[in-house]
Amino acid sequence: MKNKEFLSTTELAGLLGISRIAVFKKIKKGEIKAFKIGRNFVIKKRDLDNILGRTLSGKDKKEIELAVKKVVKEYGETLKLLGDK
């Protein structure tokens, strides 16, 4: 990819391995954040990790945090014993 700030819907479709129509549907559903420039939609390159699922949302982070706290609460002593080995 060239060093530019935005991706076209065609470029994103190629990266995701889906059709441009599928990209447009995801934009319409709000699954992909895009901006309209003239008659075309563009996607910020910095949002690519989020689109590809490489980053966690705030909701996902919260769920993981709660799960870890629950495990530590229930199995804290066992985890400590395993850590000593």
Write out pLDDT tens, residues 61-78. Answer: 899 999 999 999 999 889
Band of residue 85 on the pLDDT scale cut at 50, 70, 90: low
pLDDT at 73: 93
List the CATH code of the domain at 1-54: 1.10.10.10
Query: Residue ranges per domain, the chain?
Result: 1-54, 56-85
> CA-CA distance, 67 to 85, in Å (whole number)?
24
pLDDT at 3: 61
CB of 12 within 8 A of CB of 47?
A: no
Other Cβ atoms within 10 Å of 75 Cβ, number: 12
Band of residue 1 on the pLDDT scale cut at 50, 70, 90: very low
**Which is more confident, 3 or 70?**
70
Residues 4-55 have pLDDT tens digits of 899 999 999 999 999 999 999 999 999 999 999 999 999 999 998 888 877 7
